[in-house]
Amino acid sequence: MIYKVFYQPSFTEVPVREKTESIYLKAESEEDVRKKLANRKYNIEFITVLEGEALAYEQQNENFKLETV
């Protein structure tokens, strides 16, 4: 499955909506996503599964790139 992860790049700063970033990741489950990203020290805000029309829409975005972890 493909997951979209919304995160803040730093634990030391107060989360601010305008600084939220996102990445796309292939994983088996939400738990698997968290394990794969554990060493990056991201402040993960939200993880969502992309499938069907939502995935097709995101793939049209020029910033769509699957992270290799």
Residue 4 has pLDDT above 90, yes or no: yes
Residue 69 has pLDDT above 90, yes or no: no
Report the distance separating Cα 37 and Cα 44, nearest Å.
9
Residue 13: predicted pLDDT: 83
pLDDT tens digits for 13-63?
888 888 999 999 999 999 999 999 999 989 999 999 999 999 999 999 888
CATH 3.10.129.10 fits 2-67, yes or no: no
Q: Kindly state the DSSP code that residue 65 receives in the 8-state scheme.
A: -
Taking the domains of the chain in order of start, what are their residue ranges? Answer: 2-67
Tell me the CA distances in angstroms from 57 to 12, 26, 27, 48, 62, one per residue in order: 33, 17, 19, 14, 11
Residue 51: predicted pLDDT: 95
